[in-house]
Amino acid sequence: MTQESEILTPRWGVNPMFAYLGGIATWFTSHGLQFVMVPTLVIVTLGGTAAQLAAAQVALALPQVFLMLYAGSIADKNDSRTILIWVNLLAAIPPIALGWITYMQLLEYWHILLFAMMMSVTFAFMVPTRDALLSRVTDTHIQGAVMMALIAQFGAQLLGYVLAGTASAFAGPWALLALQAMALLVGFGFTLMLPNFPPMKQPELAEGEVNDQSWRAGFTIVWNSPIMRPVIISSIGTGIFFIGIFMVTLPLIVTQIFGGGQLEISILNFCFWGGTIFSTLLMMMRRPVERRGRAMTGALIIGCFALMGVPLAPDFASLCAIAAIWGIAAGVNMTMARTIVQIEAPAEARGRVLAFYSLGFMGSAPVGATLTGIMTEIIGPLAATFISAFLMMVLILALIALTPVWQIMRREDELTS
């Protein structure tokens, strides 16, 4: 039975969780290809600068800042299956168009910026809708469901990196866009298999109370929660200080310091996401973590130490090892943070609350990419990586000192709900 005691009727005999995980897998296969494709097009194909790569990564994230909370409100008030069907179908159009332009050797920098903004719009609507569905399709405890979803996500991204690295030996970057479009169209098929998910019933209100179904309700719920507030703040810090490293400095270190290209960028990403899968699988072999706040913040601290060691990496293999350690820590952090928010968010506003969580993580990425790009232009990618990781360390230590994040525990009723 799902967390809201909701009885689902499978469509075409397909288990809703299978269709849900299939949709996640295809979407993030596309996302993994995109992680390699954008820096490859900017740096390798067009010979762009660090500032141009940062601007392209900002374009991939900026529309989410304006749309994510609105999209969460839409998810709470409409049938989630319908939203996901349209998102997967429309998301396949930009890679088809850019792939054709690249294949015809007509690619210009503004084409990449336009592509990035269009994909960001589809991502803004997909994320809160997908996340809000998790507790409705699962028949296990919520941490187990979160880990299954994350493994599907991480594994699919690894597949995307493998496909990107393999394609580099046989075809140009246009092949990455063709594969991305194919993955999204397969995802469209998985969303068709989902049952209908009408909006959750709103709670009964006392006389004189007003039911706020706007995006502002998500902010209010998070801000008034002493448990969710520090988790969201840490996700904002991750977006600013960590995502900038992932999007800007690491690809530049691969290409400028170690002379790599599309294949090496794929390998580095593979090592990071391989680490996340490893730690997530380990957590699946045991009971749900009890001291979730300590696990989350401890993982963030380990990630900071790993990244501060990047300037000391003597070769590309060492950089990959650091990325793997960072990925192991990231798997723990993401599992704990998502589990905490999933459990604390009220069912009737889960889309808006999870949209706020995703906005903190991905919406702050434009700030991180911009700041990291500026620092990289001034002091180089190695020093920029160290400073970003150090600042994230300061933020985490401040959260431990000033908020109850260290005391966040597992709810005992989770295992019987």
Which of 238, 270, 370 is CA-nearest to residue 35? 270
State pTM to two decimals.
Answer: 0.70
CB 135 within 8 A of CB 347: yes
- Tokens at 122, concatenated: 């589809």
**Average pLDDT, integer, range 276-297:** 83
Give the model's pLDDT for residue 205.
Answer: 43
> For residues 129 and 108, what is the distance between their CA atoms, to the nearest angstrom?
33
Where residue 110 falls among pLDDT bands split at 50, 70, 90?
very high
CB 132 within 8 A of CB 76: yes
Dump the DSSP string for 28-42: HHHHHHHHHHHHIII
> For residues 251 and 43, what is the distance between their CA atoms, to the nearest angstrom?
9
**Average pLDDT, integer, range 302-313:** 93
CB 297 within 8 A of CB 234: yes
Helix, strand, coil percentages (3-state) for the chain, rounded to 5, are 80, 0, 20
User: How many C-beta atoms surround the C-beta of residue 139 within 10 A?
Assistant: 13
Model confidence pLDDT, tens digit, residues 348-405: 667 777 777 777 777 677 788 788 888 988 998 999 999 999 999 999 999 999 988 8
Q: Which residues pair with 11 in a beta bridge?
A: 14
> For residues 6 and 248, what is the distance between their CA atoms, to the nearest angstrom?
43
**Average pLDDT, integer, range 102-121:** 92
Residue 215: phi and psi, rounded to 5, are -65, -25
SS3 label, residue 197:
coil
Which of 57, 55, 56 is CA-nearest to residue 246? 57
Residue 212, pLDDT above cutoff 60:
no
Residue 1, pLDDT above cutoff 70:
no
Percentage of the residues of the chain whose pLDDT score is greater than 90? 27
- Kindly list the structural domains of the chain, giving each domain's residue range(s) and its CATH number in brackets, ordered by start: 16-198+215-409 (1.20.1250.20)
Residue 117, pLDDT above cutoff 50:
yes
Residue 139, pLDDT above cutoff 70:
no
DSSP 310: G
Q: Which residues, in sequence order, are CB contacts of 87 under 8 Å at separation 6+? A: 122, 125, 126, 129
First to last CA, the chain: 9
- Burial category of 405 from C-beta neighbours within 10 Å (exposed 0-12, middle 13-18, buried 19 and up): buried
User: How many C-beta atoms surround the C-beta of residue 416 within 10 A?
Assistant: 6
Which of 44-58, 232-246, 328-342, 375-389 is predicted with the least confidence, judged by mean pLDDT? 44-58
Of residues 190 and 212, which shows the higher confidence score? 190
Model confidence pLDDT, tens digit, residues 71-84: 777 877 788 889 99
Residue 59, pLDDT above cutoff 50:
yes
Model confidence pLDDT, tens digit, residues 158-179: 888 788 877 766 777 788 899 9
**Average pLDDT, integer, range 11-27:** 87
Which of 2-6, 11-15, 42-46, 54-58 is predicted with the least confidence, judged by mean pLDDT? 2-6
- Burial category of 77 from C-beta neighbours within 10 Å (exposed 0-12, middle 13-18, buried 19 and up): middle
CB 76 within 8 A of CB 348: yes
Token pair 């849900």 is found at 20
Residue 136, pLDDT above cutoff 70:
yes
Token pair 């991750």 is found at 238
Give the model's pLDDT for residue 417.
Answer: 44
Find which of 261-270, 290-299, 322-331, 358-367 is predicted with most confidence, using mean pLDDT: 322-331
> For residues 307 and 393, what is the distance between their CA atoms, to the nearest angstrom?
11
Give the model's pLDDT for residue 93.
Answer: 95
Give the model's pLDDT for residue 211.
Answer: 47
Give the model's pLDDT for residue 348.
Answer: 67
Which of 348, 271, 407 is CA-nearest to residue 3? 348
Where residue 108 falls among pLDDT bands split at 50, 70, 90?
very high
**Average pLDDT, integer, range 5-14:** 68
> For residues 18 and 21, what is the distance between their CA atoms, to the nearest angstrom?
5
Give the model's pLDDT for residue 89.
Answer: 92
Model confidence pLDDT, tens digit, residues 309-321: 999 999 999 999 9
**Average pLDDT, integer, range 19-47:** 88
SS3 label, residue 329:
helix
Give the model's pLDDT for residue 7.
Answer: 58
Q: What angle separates helix 50-77 from helix 16-39, to the nearest 10 degrees?
A: 160
Which of 72, 78, 168 is CA-nearest to residue 127? 72
Residue 249, pLDDT above cutoff 50:
yes
CB 396 within 8 A of CB 234: yes
